[in-house]
Each structure stands twice: as structure tokens, then as C-alpha cells.
Structure 1
Amino acid sequence: MAFGDITKKAQQLLRDERVAKALKSEKAEGVSDKLLDGVAGAANKVTGGKHADKIDGARDAADKRIGDR
């Protein structure tokens, strides 16, 4: 599956009211923070921190969409 396909599928899921409600829960916030931190950390490690600002920005943008904070 290509990245564009994954992005389209994620956008479709976010339009589903049940999924959107689940993603705005306290439990989702905790899980998503750990996951997003891990992914951002791995991306920074792979790139040697060269793109840390962009990676952190993407992490923050995703965090705003998931969880309740």
C-alpha cells in the first residue's frame, strides 16, 4: 500500500463519526502521545535530527487530531 493510499484511508476513517468520537477520548490521547513520540523519535534518529522541526511539526499536527487535548 502506497503512502497516498494510507493517507486517503485515514481521511476516510476520520470522517466516520464513531471513529472521530473514539479518537477524541482520554484513552486515545495517552496511546497516541506514546505512539507519536515514538514515531517522531525514530524519524529524528534515522535523519540524525536534520529534519527535527518538520518532524515535530507533523507530530504536533497529528496530536491535535487525536485524543482529547
Structure 2
Amino acid sequence: MAGFDDIAKQAGDFIEQNKDKIHEVLKSEQAEDISDKVLDGIGEAVKKIAPDEHDGTIDDVKANIDKSVGNQ
């Protein structure tokens, strides 16, 4: 059974070998659609429990994350 360090190294090697494909998938329209739905759901859930004065900050965090995934 491989240890955590071995698994982490294998994951790192996989990511390095496939970084162009991974980048392509992360910037795809499908990734954009999925991330929008997930981020919208999380944002709305947090807004329900956080005080209203934090809504702007929640939207800013959501927008910054959204820039990293998808094509928009």
C-alpha cells in the first residue's frame, strides 16, 4: 500500500504530465457551466446564514474564483 507521500508524488507527476490537457478542461464551456452552478449555490447558501452586510464580499470572492475556472 502506497504511503501518502507516494500518492502525492504520483498526483504531482500526473498533473505535470497532463497540465496542458487539465488547463484546457478547466477553461472549457462545460467547466464554466458547472462552476457557475456550484458557485451560485454556495454563494446563495452563505448569504442566507451571513449578515447582509457581507453580501458584497461574498460576491467578490465568488467572482474571483469564477475567473479561475471556465472560459468567462
Instruction: Please report the TM-score for the alignment, with normalisation by the length of structure 1.
Output: 0.70
Matching residue within 29, 34, 37 for 2:32: 29
Deviating beyond 6 angstroms after TM superposition, the runs of 4 or more aligned structure 1 residues are none
Which amino acid is the alignment partner of residue 40 of structure 2?
D
- Measured in 2, the distance between the counterparts of 1:19 and 1:28 equals 11
Which aligned pairs between 1:32-47 and structure 2 lie closer than 5 A? 32-47=35-50
Q: How far apart, CA to CA, are the structure 1 residues paired with 2:34 and 2:63?
A: 14
Is it true that 1:58 corresponds to 2:65 in the alignment?
Answer: no
- Residue of structure 1 aligned with 2:23, choices 20, 24, 36: 20
Stretches of structure 2 lacking an aligned partner (at least 5 in a row): 1-11
> Aligned partners of 1:48, 1:56: CA distance in 2, in Å?
13
- Name the larger-Rg structure: 2
Find the aligned partners of 1:49 and 1:22 in 2 and give their Cα distance.
35
Unaligned runs of 5+ in 1: 1-11
Aligned mates of 2:52, 2:23 — CA distance in 1: 32
1:22 aligned partner, one-letter code: V
